[in-house]
């Protein structure tokens, strides 16, 4: 193994070190003291330059944090390429308003979103009709809409195809099946429950327990325990109308 600088991606971040995936393995990396003073905190998704200090034990120093393409504060995540936005039409029923709000905020944060309609195994005839309308509505404005069942595994391949080679996270209101989908995608990973994560957060004062889980072909999907919904700092409606004058003209009929 060489000891020159190499780049990697932060998959876990703890108080005094982070775990960095590189082409030659996974390192426990400590940020340079100077780096800690000069930069904001490292977070998962950051691309960093490492200098290996011990190639046998996979220890390294983080020399530089490369510029972030995107940044989400809660939970802290850098360089997200894709948000897998999970919804369903029953248990809980779909809310166009929630979807619109989320999509709009995601756009404003320059995040790319795919919409997933989960729990299709539960759908009756009416549910399928509702799902078809939902799909048509959002495909019309340019979104990719996929259907899935965390129960049967149907549609998982299409979700993973979207995630290939990217850093993704799963978002959506409580109960739509985010954890079930993640468990299905990463059957060997031990997921912590939300309650336990919240206890840990309070107990040890670490900032985040978000980890990036690596799927094959270089895909990373965030596990964000304690957050049922990624928190996009919301934009005031008045500001929105100012940003998008079309809304003013088309009024409430406009999806955006
Ligand atoms: P989360 O709050 O979004 O993480 O949702 P969970 O993954 O905890 O799922 C909420 C409930 O819906 C659980 O009882 C799951 O077993 C159930 N569930 C999730 N996905 C599916 C699915 O695709 N089909 C069916 N039938 N149930 C599902």
pLDDT of residue 251: 46
> Which position has the token pair 């009709």?
129
Centre of ligand 1 to C-alpha 137, Å, is 24
| Phi-psi sector, 226: left (phi>0), alpha (psi -120 to 50), beta | left
Q: Out of 7-11, 117-121, 236-240, 251-255, which region has the weakest mean confidence (pLDDT)?
A: 251-255
Residue 200 has pLDDT above 60, yes or no: no
Measured CA distances, 124 to 23, 40, 90, 130, 158 (Å): 47, 50, 10, 10, 22
Q: Model confidence at 207, in pLDDT bands (50, 70, 90)? A: very low
Centre of ligand 1 to C-alpha 119, Å, is 7
Centre of ligand 1 to C-alpha 164, Å, is 24
- pTM given for the model: 0.85
In this structure, the number of other CB atoms found within 10 A of the CB of residue 202 comes to: 8
| Top-ranked range on mean pLDDT: pick from 24-33, 138-147, 166-175, 203-212 | 138-147
DSSP element (H, E) containing 178: helix 178-185
Report the alpha-carbon distance of residue 254 to residue 256 in Å, rounded: 5
pLDDT of residue 141: 94
**pLDDT tens digits along 106-128:** 888 888 999 999 999 999 999 99
Residue 243 has pLDDT above 60, yes or no: no
Measured CA distances, 11 to 18, 60, 65, 88, 223 (Å): 8, 15, 14, 29, 10
Residue 82 has pLDDT above 60, yes or no: yes
Centre of ligand 1 to C-alpha 201, Å, is 24
- For ligand 1, atom 14: residue with the closest CA: 175
Q: Which of 87, 89, 102, 177 most suits a substitution to test ligand 1, by most atoms within 8 Å of the C-beta?
A: 177
Most distant CA pair in the chain: distance in Å?
64
Centre of ligand 1 to C-alpha 177, Å, is 4
Which residues, judged by CB distance below 6 Å to any ligand atom, belong to the binding site of ligand 1? 118-119, 121-122, 149-151, 172, 174-180, 228
Q: At what angle do helices 125-140 and 96-108 cross, to 10 degrees?
A: 30
Q: Out of 51-60, 109-118, 188-197, which region has the weakest mean confidence (pLDDT)?
A: 188-197
If one compares 202 and 155, the residue with the highest pLDDT of the two is 155
Residue 171, classed as helix, strand or coil, is: strand
pLDDT of residue 215: 92
Q: Model confidence at 104, in pLDDT bands (50, 70, 90)? A: confident
Residue 164 has pLDDT above 80, yes or no: yes
Pairing between β-strand 219-223 and β-strand 167-171 as defined by DSSP bridges: parallel
């Amino acid at each position: 193994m060489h000891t020159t600088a190499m780049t990697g991606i932060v998959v876990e971040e703890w108080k005094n070190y982070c775990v960095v995936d590189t082409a030659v393995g996974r390192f426990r990396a400590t940020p340079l003291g100077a780096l800690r003073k000069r930069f904001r905190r490292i977070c998962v998704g950051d691309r960093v330059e490492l200098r290996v200090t011990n190639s046998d034990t996979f220890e390294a120093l983080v020399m530089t944090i490369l510029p972030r393409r995107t940044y989400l504060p809660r939970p802290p995540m850098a360089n997200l390429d894709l948000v897998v936005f999970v919804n369903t039409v029953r248990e809980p029923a779909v809310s166009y308003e929630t979807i619109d709000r989320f999509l709009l905020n995601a756009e404003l944060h320059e995040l790319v979103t795919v919409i997933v309609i989960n729990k299709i195994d539960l759908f009756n005839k009416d549910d399928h009709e509702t799902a078809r309308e939902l799909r048509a509505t959002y495909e019309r404005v340019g979104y990719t809409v996929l259907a899935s069942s965390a129960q049967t595994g149907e549609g998982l391949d299409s979700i993973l195809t979207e995630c290939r080679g990217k850093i993704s996270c799963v978002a959506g209101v409580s109960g739509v099946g985010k954890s079930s989908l993640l468990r299905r995608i990463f059957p060997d990973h031990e997921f912590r429950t939300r309650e336990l994560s919240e206890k840990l957060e309070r107990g040890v004062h670490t900032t985040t327990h978000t980890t990036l889980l690596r799927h094959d072909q270089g895909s990373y999907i965030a596990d964000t325990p304690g957050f049922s919904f990624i928190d996009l700092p919301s934009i005031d409606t008045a500001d929105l109308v100012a940003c998008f004058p079309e809304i003013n003209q088309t009024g409430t009929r406009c999806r955006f």
